[in-house]
Amino acid sequence: MKLFVYELKPTSPTPIYFYEDYIQKKISSLNAQRIDTVYQIDDDGRVNKLSEKKYQPKDYSMTTLETADIWNGNETPLQ
């Protein structure tokens, strides 16, 4: 079995609080780096990382984060 993990890693050292009111009032976009990781789960239940692909950080609007699938985005892979 394979497990595909898509994540957005914020690039700012400033903490982000995901309280709904705070997000809507204080943050209009989030600069983050997309990271795609693929894991293999073997028959014994061990999890092994198969691959990791990182993309250039970019701004994601809050609307995009609430309505879009990040794995269908237009991110630029890091070389």
Helices (H), ranges, 1-79: 20-26, 62-67
Q: In sequence order, what are the residues at sequence separation of 6 or more whose Cβ sits closer than 8 angstroms to the Cβ of residue 70?
A: 6, 8, 34, 60
Residue 55 has pLDDT above 80, yes or no: yes
Q: In sequence order, what are the residues at sequence separation of 6 or more whose Cβ sits closer than 8 angstroms to the Cβ of residue 71?
A: 6, 36
pLDDT at 17: 67
Residue 57 has pLDDT above 80, yes or no: yes
Measure the CA dihedral 27/65/55/30, to 10°.
0
In tens, the pLDDT along 3-54 reads: 999 999 989 887 766 666 555 666 677 889 999 999 999 999 999 999 999 9
Report, in angstroms and rounded to the nearest whole number, the Rg of the chain calculated over CA atoms. Answer: 15
